Amino acid sequence: MFNRLIFIFVSSLYLVFLSTEIVDTAYAKGLKDSAVAAWSFDGNFKDMSANGHNGKMMGKPKFVDGKFGKAISLSGKGDGVVTPELPEMDEVTVAHWSKCTGRVGAWRVWINVDGWQKGAVHHQLYPGNDIGWSIHTNTPTDVKAEKTRIDDKNKDKWVHIAIAYSAPQKNVKFYIDGKLESEGKYTAAGPATLGPARIGSWDGGGRDYEGEMDEFAIFNTVLEEKDVGTLIDEGLDKIWSVESRNKLTIVWGSLKINNY
Protein backbone atom coordinates (compact mmCIF):
# COMPACT_ATOMS: atom_id res chain seq x y z
CA MET A 1 0.00 0.00 0.00
CA PHE A 2 2.78 2.42 0.95
CA ASN A 3 4.64 1.68 -2.29
CA ARG A 4 1.49 2.27 -4.28
CA LEU A 5 0.95 5.64 -2.61
CA ILE A 6 4.53 6.60 -3.48
CA PHE A 7 3.93 5.52 -7.06
CA ILE A 8 0.74 7.61 -7.31
CA PHE A 9 2.52 10.64 -5.85
CA VAL A 10 5.52 10.31 -8.18
CA SER A 11 3.22 9.69 -11.14
CA SER A 12 1.28 12.86 -10.36
CA LEU A 13 4.46 14.89 -10.24
CA TYR A 14 5.59 13.31 -13.50
CA LEU A 15 2.33 14.14 -15.27
CA VAL A 16 2.58 17.78 -14.18
CA PHE A 17 6.17 17.87 -15.45
CA LEU A 18 5.18 16.08 -18.66
CA SER A 19 2.38 18.52 -19.44
CA THR A 20 4.76 21.44 -18.96
CA GLU A 21 7.45 19.79 -21.07
CA ILE A 22 5.00 19.06 -23.89
CA VAL A 23 4.03 22.72 -24.04
CA ASP A 24 7.65 23.83 -23.90
CA THR A 25 8.72 21.36 -26.58
CA ALA A 26 5.86 22.26 -28.91
CA TYR A 27 6.44 25.94 -28.30
CA ALA A 28 10.15 25.71 -28.99
CA LYS A 29 9.46 23.68 -32.13
CA GLY A 30 7.07 26.36 -33.36
CA LEU A 31 9.69 29.07 -32.94
CA LYS A 32 12.37 26.95 -34.60
CA ASP A 33 10.12 26.02 -37.52
CA SER A 34 9.29 29.67 -38.22
CA ALA A 35 12.89 30.89 -37.96
CA VAL A 36 14.30 32.15 -41.24
CA ALA A 37 17.63 32.97 -39.61
CA ALA A 38 18.91 33.13 -36.03
CA TRP A 39 22.33 34.32 -34.95
CA SER A 40 23.28 33.86 -31.29
CA PHE A 41 26.75 35.40 -31.87
CA ASP A 42 28.33 32.88 -29.52
CA GLY A 43 31.79 33.32 -30.99
CA ASN A 44 30.67 33.03 -34.61
CA PHE A 45 28.15 34.23 -37.18
CA LYS A 46 26.50 30.88 -37.87
CA ASP A 47 22.79 30.65 -38.54
CA MET A 48 21.12 28.41 -35.93
CA SER A 49 18.14 27.71 -38.20
CA ALA A 50 18.15 24.89 -40.72
CA ASN A 51 18.40 27.38 -43.59
CA GLY A 52 22.15 27.97 -43.66
CA HIS A 53 21.91 31.76 -43.64
CA ASN A 54 25.32 32.29 -42.07
CA GLY A 55 26.58 35.84 -41.67
CA LYS A 56 29.98 37.21 -42.66
CA MET A 57 32.15 39.53 -40.61
CA MET A 58 32.49 43.11 -41.78
CA GLY A 59 35.16 45.32 -40.22
CA LYS A 60 36.37 44.21 -36.80
CA PRO A 61 33.43 43.22 -34.61
CA LYS A 62 34.41 41.74 -31.26
CA PHE A 63 32.80 39.01 -29.20
CA VAL A 64 31.98 40.07 -25.63
CA ASP A 65 29.78 38.77 -22.81
CA GLY A 66 26.14 39.21 -23.81
CA LYS A 67 22.66 38.51 -22.49
CA PHE A 68 23.11 34.82 -23.32
CA GLY A 69 26.66 33.63 -23.84
CA LYS A 70 28.50 35.96 -26.16
CA ALA A 71 27.36 39.03 -28.09
CA ILE A 72 28.92 41.15 -30.82
CA SER A 73 30.39 44.55 -30.02
CA LEU A 74 30.55 47.11 -32.84
CA SER A 75 32.71 50.23 -32.76
CA GLY A 76 30.50 52.50 -34.85
CA LYS A 77 33.24 52.70 -37.46
CA GLY A 78 32.31 50.24 -40.17
CA ASP A 79 31.82 47.08 -38.10
CA GLY A 80 28.92 44.75 -38.76
CA VAL A 81 27.62 41.46 -40.10
CA VAL A 82 26.75 40.88 -43.75
CA THR A 83 23.71 38.64 -44.13
CA PRO A 84 22.68 36.69 -47.26
CA GLU A 85 19.63 36.92 -49.47
CA LEU A 86 16.42 35.92 -47.69
CA PRO A 87 13.00 35.03 -49.09
CA GLU A 88 10.36 37.71 -49.51
CA MET A 89 7.85 37.52 -46.64
CA ASP A 90 4.27 38.72 -46.17
CA GLU A 91 4.77 38.40 -42.41
CA VAL A 92 7.98 38.77 -40.46
CA THR A 93 9.26 39.34 -36.94
CA VAL A 94 12.73 40.70 -36.23
CA ALA A 95 13.89 40.26 -32.63
CA HIS A 96 17.16 41.10 -30.89
CA TRP A 97 18.89 42.42 -27.80
CA SER A 98 20.49 45.83 -28.15
CA LYS A 99 22.84 47.87 -25.98
CA CYS A 100 23.86 51.16 -27.58
CA THR A 101 27.01 52.71 -26.15
CA GLY A 102 27.53 55.69 -28.44
CA ARG A 103 26.50 57.75 -31.48
CA VAL A 104 23.38 58.93 -29.63
CA GLY A 105 21.43 61.32 -31.84
CA ALA A 106 22.75 59.78 -35.05
CA TRP A 107 21.35 57.20 -37.49
CA ARG A 108 22.14 53.76 -36.05
CA VAL A 109 21.31 50.57 -37.92
CA TRP A 110 20.12 47.27 -36.46
CA ILE A 111 19.51 45.72 -39.87
CA ASN A 112 19.21 47.48 -43.22
CA VAL A 113 18.72 45.80 -46.57
CA ASP A 114 21.34 46.79 -49.12
CA GLY A 115 20.04 49.64 -51.23
CA TRP A 116 16.54 51.05 -50.97
CA GLN A 117 14.16 49.34 -53.37
CA LYS A 118 10.59 48.03 -53.31
CA GLY A 119 9.95 45.98 -50.17
CA ALA A 120 13.35 46.75 -48.62
CA VAL A 121 13.31 46.86 -44.81
CA HIS A 122 15.36 49.34 -42.80
CA HIS A 123 15.17 48.72 -39.05
CA GLN A 124 17.18 51.46 -37.39
CA LEU A 125 17.37 54.33 -34.96
CA TYR A 126 16.60 57.81 -36.22
CA PRO A 127 18.52 60.99 -35.28
CA GLY A 128 15.70 61.68 -32.82
CA ASN A 129 16.60 58.33 -31.13
CA ASP A 130 13.29 56.77 -32.23
CA ILE A 131 13.05 53.03 -32.86
CA GLY A 132 11.98 52.71 -36.47
CA TRP A 133 10.71 50.26 -39.06
CA SER A 134 10.73 51.34 -42.71
CA ILE A 135 9.53 49.48 -45.81
CA HIS A 136 10.02 51.03 -49.21
CA THR A 137 6.74 51.61 -51.12
CA ASN A 138 4.55 51.07 -48.03
CA THR A 139 2.26 53.91 -46.99
CA PRO A 140 3.48 55.30 -44.69
CA THR A 141 7.08 54.26 -45.33
CA ASP A 142 8.29 54.88 -41.77
CA VAL A 143 6.65 53.75 -38.55
CA LYS A 144 8.18 54.39 -35.11
CA ALA A 145 7.71 53.12 -31.57
CA GLU A 146 5.61 55.65 -29.70
CA LYS A 147 7.41 55.85 -26.35
CA THR A 148 10.84 54.27 -26.07
CA ARG A 149 13.87 56.26 -27.21
CA ILE A 150 17.40 54.88 -27.30
CA ASP A 151 18.92 58.10 -26.00
CA ASP A 152 21.24 59.03 -23.14
CA LYS A 153 18.74 57.61 -20.61
CA ASN A 154 18.82 54.18 -22.27
CA LYS A 155 22.47 54.30 -23.23
CA ASP A 156 24.58 51.37 -21.97
CA LYS A 157 21.44 49.35 -21.09
CA TRP A 158 20.27 46.11 -22.66
CA VAL A 159 16.88 46.50 -24.33
CA HIS A 160 14.99 43.71 -26.09
CA ILE A 161 13.28 44.80 -29.28
CA ALA A 162 10.88 42.77 -31.42
CA ILE A 163 9.13 44.15 -34.49
CA ALA A 164 6.22 42.07 -35.84
CA TYR A 165 5.05 43.05 -39.34
CA SER A 166 2.04 41.79 -41.32
CA ALA A 167 1.34 42.94 -44.87
CA PRO A 168 -2.10 41.23 -44.99
CA GLN A 169 -3.11 42.91 -41.71
CA LYS A 170 -1.45 46.19 -42.76
CA ASN A 171 0.16 46.70 -39.37
CA VAL A 172 3.40 46.51 -37.42
CA LYS A 173 3.77 45.93 -33.68
CA PHE A 174 6.60 47.14 -31.49
CA TYR A 175 7.46 44.93 -28.50
CA ILE A 176 9.92 46.54 -26.07
CA ASP A 177 11.31 44.30 -23.32
CA GLY A 178 8.55 41.79 -24.03
CA LYS A 179 5.59 44.18 -23.83
CA LEU A 180 3.53 45.53 -26.70
CA GLU A 181 4.30 49.24 -26.70
CA SER A 182 2.57 50.46 -29.84
CA GLU A 183 1.09 49.43 -33.19
CA GLY A 184 1.45 51.21 -36.50
CA LYS A 185 -1.08 51.04 -39.33
CA TYR A 186 -0.60 51.15 -43.11
CA THR A 187 -2.98 52.19 -45.86
CA ALA A 188 -0.84 50.24 -48.34
CA ALA A 189 1.49 47.37 -47.45
CA GLY A 190 3.47 44.77 -49.35
CA PRO A 191 5.90 41.89 -48.74
CA ALA A 192 9.08 42.58 -46.81
CA THR A 193 12.63 41.86 -47.98
CA LEU A 194 15.33 41.45 -45.32
CA GLY A 195 18.38 40.34 -47.26
CA PRO A 196 21.00 40.71 -48.51
CA ALA A 197 21.51 43.14 -45.66
CA ARG A 198 23.87 44.35 -42.98
CA ILE A 199 23.47 44.11 -39.24
CA GLY A 200 24.96 47.22 -37.65
CA SER A 201 25.51 49.16 -40.86
CA TRP A 202 24.14 50.07 -44.28
CA ASP A 203 25.78 49.89 -47.67
CA GLY A 204 24.68 53.50 -48.20
CA GLY A 205 27.10 54.47 -45.42
CA GLY A 206 26.98 56.80 -42.42
CA ARG A 207 24.64 54.82 -40.16
CA ASP A 208 26.98 52.62 -38.14
CA TYR A 209 25.85 51.15 -34.85
CA GLU A 210 28.03 51.61 -31.78
CA GLY A 211 27.37 49.11 -29.03
CA GLU A 212 26.42 45.48 -28.58
CA MET A 213 23.84 43.12 -30.07
CA ASP A 214 22.81 39.61 -29.11
CA GLU A 215 20.28 36.92 -30.06
CA PHE A 216 19.36 38.36 -33.46
CA ALA A 217 16.57 36.36 -35.11
CA ILE A 218 14.19 36.68 -38.06
CA PHE A 219 10.91 34.72 -38.20
CA ASN A 220 8.48 34.32 -41.10
CA THR A 221 5.45 34.86 -38.90
CA VAL A 222 3.98 37.45 -36.56
CA LEU A 223 5.12 36.58 -33.06
CA GLU A 224 2.85 37.37 -30.13
CA GLU A 225 3.75 38.66 -26.68
CA LYS A 226 4.13 35.14 -25.28
CA ASP A 227 6.53 34.21 -28.07
CA VAL A 228 8.65 37.30 -27.46
CA GLY A 229 8.65 36.52 -23.73
CA THR A 230 10.02 33.05 -24.47
CA LEU A 231 12.87 34.55 -26.51
CA ILE A 232 13.68 36.89 -23.63
CA ASP A 233 13.44 34.32 -20.83
CA GLU A 234 14.96 31.25 -22.49
CA GLY A 235 17.35 32.49 -25.18
CA LEU A 236 18.03 30.93 -28.56
CA ASP A 237 20.42 28.21 -27.35
CA LYS A 238 17.89 26.79 -24.91
CA ILE A 239 15.02 26.97 -27.40
CA TRP A 240 17.07 25.12 -30.00
CA SER A 241 18.19 22.45 -27.51
CA VAL A 242 14.78 21.46 -26.10
CA GLU A 243 14.58 17.67 -26.12
CA SER A 244 11.74 15.62 -27.48
CA ARG A 245 9.29 13.61 -25.42
CA ASN A 246 11.25 10.38 -25.98
CA LYS A 247 13.33 10.82 -22.86
CA LEU A 248 10.21 11.45 -20.79
CA THR A 249 8.53 8.38 -22.26
CA ILE A 250 11.48 6.25 -21.15
CA VAL A 251 11.22 7.67 -17.62
CA TRP A 252 7.48 6.95 -17.54
CA GLY A 253 8.04 3.38 -18.70
CA SER A 254 10.59 2.88 -15.94
CA LEU A 255 8.13 4.12 -13.35
CA LYS A 256 5.45 1.67 -14.51
CA ILE A 257 7.86 -1.28 -14.62
CA ASN A 258 9.00 -0.62 -11.08
CA ASN A 259 5.46 -0.24 -9.72
CA TYR A 260 4.55 -3.00 -7.31
pLDDT for the residue 116:
97
Residue type, position 52, single letter:
G
Which pLDDT does position 40 carry in this prediction? 98
At residue 29, the pLDDT reads: 85
Number of CB atoms found within 10 A of residue 26's CB: 11
Instruction: Please list, in sequence order, all residues whose beta carbon lies within 8 angstroms of the beta carbon of residue 44, skipping any fewer than 6 positions away.
Output: none
Q: Are strands 70-75 and 210-219 parallel, antiparallel or unpaired?
A: antiparallel
CB atoms within 10 A of CB 191: 16
- Which residues, including other chains, have CB under 8 Å from residue 159's CB and lie 6 or more apart? 97, 98, 99, 148, 150, 176, 177
Average pLDDT of adjacent 10-residue blocks, the chain of 260 residues: 48 44 65 97 97 97 98 97 97 98 98 97 98 98 97 96 98 98 98 98 96 98 96 96 50 42
Residue 1, pLDDT score: 54
Where do the domains of the chain lie, and which CATH numbers do they carry? 35-240 (2.60.120.200)
